[in-house]
Amino acid sequence: MANTIAYTPEEVAKILKISRFTVYEFIKRGELTAYHIGRKLRIEAADLEKYMNNAKGTNSIAAPPAAQTANVSLAAQDGLIIYGQDAVLDVLTRHLEKQMPQVRSLRCFNGSMDGLIALYRGTANLITTHLWDGDTGEYNTPYVRHLLPGQRALIINLVYRYEGFYVAPGNPKNIKNWPDLLRSDIRFINRERGSGARVLLDEKFQQLKLDPRAIPNYSQEETSHLAIASAVARGDADVGLGIEKAAMQVQNVEFIPLQKERYDLVMLRHDLEKPHFQALMSILRSPIFRNEIAGMGGYDVSQMGDIMAEL
């Protein structure tokens, strides 16, 4: 026992390159074995290795970016490597696996820019993005053009959702808009570079001719909307930026809407001919799937499945 290696959920999250909330979800579902020491959770190295070995044989796993390139490329050819964090993707994957159980789908919980780069490199074939361009006021298309040079791509709407501030109930610091983040009495928590929320923040500050690096705690980062909302709920930060849906899932957080954003899927156009991509489009346009997502709250499904751009 003295030589047993045990990790915290945060350490496992870093190893797998996912958020710690995803680790907690694996533990809750019984996919990853953990135990308590007092109020703290620990995961033994042997159990983590067992989970990773088991995950290699399942249909839907959180695929770490450090996975071997050959294996990821093979899966991208024969199945689906999906980049994105939103819970809508969990529902979409479930519907796809019911319709085509032979298709292997792997999930990677990285941000929008990482997804586009993975699509360009061939280590993903379906990614989500919500990158706002301050020069054009447009979502996603400018980034797809620049990060997929020479590639023919389709941009398909998944949902619209609101991006805004998470604050304590009653908004005691009276935080209302972007310049408020510069106040010395505000503790901010940021998203990681390449995420849609981080890009939105930086682009808004560029428009206002303000330096985002002047925001207190600008370098303090978390890797998911839920993690940001949780930090505000715990009192570790006064404000963070994320989507409305996460605020609906975390107690003791109030949401201040700032901008309606377009959350899109991006794929290469030649993939659309494949049966599992045809099935995907059919699901996106089905009333059953649309009603299920609308019933979750926090999403506008009015253009779900619409092709927003063909590049």
What topology is assigned to 79-159+263-310 in CATH? D-Maltodextrin-Binding Protein; domain 2 (3.40.190)
CB distance 300 to 161 below 8 Å: yes
SS3 181: helix
Determine if the pTM surpasses 0.75: yes
Domains of the chain, residue spans: 6-50, 79-159+263-310, 162-260
**Over the stretch 28-62, which tens digit does the pLDDT of each residue have?**
777 888 887 777 788 888 888 888 777 655 444 44
Buried b (16+ CB within 10 A) or exposed e, 148-166: beebebbbbbbbbbbbbbb
For residues 263-284, average pLDDT: 95
Please check whether the two domains, 79-159+263-310 and 162-260, share a CATH topology. yes
User: pLDDT value at position 261?
Assistant: 98
**Over the stretch 220-230, which tens digit does the pLDDT of each residue have?**
999 899 999 99
Mean pLDDT, the chain, rounded, equals 88
User: pLDDT value at position 20?
Assistant: 74
Cα–Cα distance between 16 and 56 in angstroms, integer?
13
Superfamily of segment(s) 162-260: Periplasmic binding protein-like II (3.40.190.10)
Q: How far is CA 19 from CA 11, 26, 186, 227, in A?
A: 10, 11, 25, 8
State the amino acid at position 158 in one-letter form.
L
Confidence grade of residue 86 (pLDDT, cut at 50, 70, 90): very high
Q: Residues 140, 73, 273, CA angle at the centre, nearest 5°?
A: 65
